[in-house]
Amino acid sequence: MRLRSGKRHTVDARPEAPAATPGPAVELRDVRRRYGRGGGAVHALAGIDLALPRGTFTAVMGPSGSGKSTFLQCAAGLDRPTSGSVRLGGTEITGLDENQLTELRRSRLGFVFQAFNLLPSLTVEQNVLLPLRLAGQRQDHHRAAAVLARVGLADKARRRPAELSGGQQQRVAVARALVTSPDVIFADEPTGALDTGTAAEVLGLLRQAVDTLGATVVMVTHDPTAAAWADRVLFLADGTFVGGLEHGTAEQIAARMTALSGRTGVLAGAAA
Ligand code: ADP
Ligand code: MG
């Protein structure tokens, strides 16, 4: 594996995160999410406790149906837990109304999805500036240029997404996620649609956001090679975290996943 040998985990050199509030970037306390009621109810999250320090990169893995997507949606304020507490950058979000949640997501969170989710009619620069536009903030062209340079796309500002490769489009999505200097970047299978080489580029950008900008990244993935870029991998099974691995190699992470799916039997016959 050709991963970041030596340049990671220099915790002392890590800059302070920009957010003013103290405490973890992401904190979940006894978070539960139930779908349906009575005998047919599904306990997608069955009591999640978690505190992620600022400036860390966490990967969440688990068999299909273990609750990864539900976890990410609840942690990012896209879905409401049935019970429990979710704090982002010190703000308790479970009591916020839809407008407040939308505002918080726009100003303090970044998102990277498997399908890139760029707007095809907008230029690369306009896509990157979209979070600022939606938040009613000034269209800061210098800022757009700076984040595009950071992801290696300084010369693509006036292109449209369809003119770029998949890897380049995902780098635009990373630039868009970075443009507001968010407290937390949530990534849901960000390399799921990419080949190995371009996946490594995108993962390197997320790693760099953590190491040089003090960003906090939470990434759901089924790929042990992608998860190996994180500081820590958390393993979900049946809606609870059943273990973690610090600084694991792709091989170690894969072995834990195999043990996990054997234990729960969930992977048998199910797509990831
Ligand atoms: P993963 O992302 O790890 O595959 P999910 O979070 O998507 O897992 O799903 C966790 C569990 O919750 C699964 O049993 C799934 O079938 C169930 N589930 C997810 N979304 C819904 C929904 N909207 N309605 C009912 N059940 C759901
Ligand atoms: Mg899922």
The answer to whether 119 and 130 have CB atoms below 8 angstroms apart is yes
Quick: pLDDT tens for 218-231. Answer: 999 999 999 999 99
Q: Positive or negative CA dihedral for 240, 109, 191, 81?
A: positive
In the prediction, which pLDDT does 160 show?
A: 98
What are 162's two structure tokens?
A: 């369809």
What pTM was estimated for this model as a whole? 0.87
**Residue ranges of domains in the chain, CATH in brackets:** 49-271 (3.40.50.300)
In the prediction, which pLDDT does 15 show?
A: 43
Per-residue pLDDT for 99 more than 60? yes
What are 254's two structure tokens?
A: 């894969």
Look at ligand 1, atom 26, and give the residue with the nearest C-alpha: 35
Residues 6+ apart with CB under 8 A from 20: none
Task: Report, in angstroms and rounded to the nearest whole number, the Rg of the chain calculated over CA atoms.
Answer: 18
Give, for ligand 1, the residue of 34, 37, 42 to mutate: max count of ligand atoms closer than 8 Å to Cβ: 42
Per-residue pLDDT for 265 more than 90? no
Quick: pLDDT tens for 25-58. Answer: 999 999 999 999 999 999 999 999 999 999 999 9
- Return the DSSP state at 18: S
Element (H or E) spanning 31, and its range? strand 26-35
In the prediction, which pLDDT does 137 show?
A: 85
In the prediction, which pLDDT does 17 show?
A: 40
Segment 83-98 shows an average pLDDT of 94
* Residue whose pair of structure tokens reads 């992608």 in the numeric block: 226
In the prediction, which pLDDT does 161 show?
A: 97
63 C-alpha to ligand 1 centroid (Å): 11
Three state DSSP letters for 144-186: HHHHHHHCCCHHHCCCCHHHCCHHHHHHHHHHHHHCCCCCEEE
Three state DSSP letters for 209-242: HHHHHCCEEEEECCCHHHHCCCCEEEEEECCEEE
Segment 98-125 shows an average pLDDT of 93
Using pLDDT thresholds of 50, 70 and 90, give the confidence band for residue 264: low
Torsion, Cα 137 141 147 150, to 10 degrees, reads -170
Share of the chain above pLDDT 90, in %: 78
Share of the chain above pLDDT 70, in %: 88
Quick: pLDDT tens for 140-196. Answer: 999 999 999 999 999 999 999 999 999 999 999 999 999 999 989 999 999 999 999
Look at ligand 1, atom 11, and give the residue with the nearest C-alpha: 44
Burial-class residue 14 by CB neighbours within 10 Å (0-12, 13-18, 19+): middle
Look at ligand 1, atom 14, and give the residue with the nearest C-alpha: 65
Segment 74-80 shows an average pLDDT of 96
Mean pLDDT across the chain: 88
Cα–Cα distance, 207 to 199 (Å, whole number): 12
Quick one: which of 208, 203, 246, 244 has its CA closest to 14? 208
Segment 103-130 shows an average pLDDT of 94
Per-residue pLDDT for 1 more than 50? no
Per-residue pLDDT for 266 more than 80? no
Give, for ligand 1, the residue of 45, 61, 70 to mutate: max count of ligand atoms closer than 8 Å to Cβ: 70
Per-residue pLDDT for 6 more than 60? no
In the prediction, which pLDDT does 263 show?
A: 62
The answer to whether 219 and 251 have CB atoms below 8 angstroms apart is no
10 C-alpha to ligand 2 centroid (Å): 32
In the prediction, which pLDDT does 77 show?
A: 95
